[in-house]
């Protein structure tokens, strides 16, 4: 992969890592539905303005249903779960858990496309599960640990990754027919409209004068950085580089996310974070290397 691609992906992953801090800040002062509505409403507006200069998207009618479904999953339901999860867990935790996305995507492909699950994938999943439990401070002999609020938050975030993985698998065919911007624009528009309908009561009763400048700054950041820049870069690089190699850039997030969580949110980096994160990233790195080796053969 060209160093230019690595540089773009690093910036994209840094932006995504910062989104967990921004969602946590915005979610402290705004209802979850309002955060989702503003984020993807702003992103939809940004893509609308962009279309004036790059040309208007032309969506095939037969794809509108799929684009709408994927948009609701990825840009309405998944972010709702992520914002809720950050009320129970930490930004450092979810920055580490995001590294599980390639593995979850492989499992989703096996379930949806009936692809065979390799022994390496099963082994990596087992190791990663142990890492998640350790990251959440769970001790097997202590039953009370399984009622941990932190574990609940981490599991909610993992469910959101499952929705995103389903979008990645089901949306592969769309990448062959549309520019990255056009597909993302359609899905984010669906997420914006869907969240507007579902959270209409929260939006109507929200006092938009109440949130602090920090909360509004977080919303602006979520619109420009993670939503517009990162997703566009991600799908743009995927056009030139195999997905298995692009997925390696996800390992930037545990590093940058831990740094941001520690300095911006004053989150503690405990023994369980170090060991759990090491197990997760180590197991996934082994799985990714094995997958790349097998593909070369």
Per DSSP, the residues of 231-258 read: HHHHHHHHTTS-HHHHGGGGGHHHHHHH
Q: Is 115 left (phi over 0), alpha (psi -120 to 50) or beta?
A: beta
Separation of alpha carbons 189 and 118, rounded Å = 37
Structure confidence at residue 133 as a pLDDT band (50, 70, 90): low
CA 260 from centroid of its chain's CA atoms: 16
Output the pLDDT for position 143: 45
Q: 141 pLDDT exceeds 70? A: no
Which of 99-103, 190-194, 260-264 has the largest mean confidence?
190-194
Its pTM stands at 0.81
Token pair 């590294």: residue: 99
| CA-atom Rg of the chain in angstroms | 19
Structural tokens at position 289: 């290397």
Output the pLDDT for position 44: 94
Q: Under a CB-based contact definition with an 8 Å cutoff, are residues 261 and 267 in contact?
A: yes
């Amino acid at each position: 992969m060209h160093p230019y691609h690595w540089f773009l992906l690093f910036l994209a992953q840094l932006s995504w890592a910062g989104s967990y801090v921004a969602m946590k800040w915005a979610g402290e002062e705004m209802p979850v539905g309002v955060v989702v509505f503003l984020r993807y409403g702003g992103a939809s507006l940004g893509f609308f303005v962009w279309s004036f200069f790059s040309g208007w998207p032309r969506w095939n009618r037969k794809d509108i249903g799929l684009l709408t479904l994927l948009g609701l999953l990825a840009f309405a339901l998944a972010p709702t779960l992520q914002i809720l999860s950050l009320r129970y867990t930490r930004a450092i935790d979810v920055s580490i858990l995001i590294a599980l996305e390639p593995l979850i995507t492989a499992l989703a492909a096996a379930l949806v496309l009936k692809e065979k699950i390799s022994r390496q994938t099963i082994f990596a999943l087992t190791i990663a599960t142990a890492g998640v439990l350790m990251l959440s401070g769970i001790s097997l002999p202590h039953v009370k640990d399984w009622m941990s609020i932190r574990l609940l938050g981490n599991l909610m975030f993992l469910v959101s990754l499952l929705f995103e993985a389903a979008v990645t698998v089901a949306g592969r065919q769309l990448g062959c027919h549309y520019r990255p911007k056009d597909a993302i624009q359609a899905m984010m528009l669906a997420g914006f409209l869907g969240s507007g309908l579902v959270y209409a009561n929260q939006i109507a009763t929200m006092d938009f004068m109440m949130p602090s400048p920090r909360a509004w700054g977080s919303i602006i950041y979520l619109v420009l950085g993670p939503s517009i820049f990162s997703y566009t870069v991600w799908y743009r690089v995927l056009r030139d580089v195999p997905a298995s190699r692009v997925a390696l850039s996800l390992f930037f997030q545990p590093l940058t996310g831990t740094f941001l969580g520690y300095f911006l949110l004053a989150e503690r980096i405990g023994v369980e974070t170090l060991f759990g994160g090491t197990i997760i990233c180590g197991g996934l790195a082994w799985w990714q290397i094995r997958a790349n080796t097998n593909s070369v053969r």
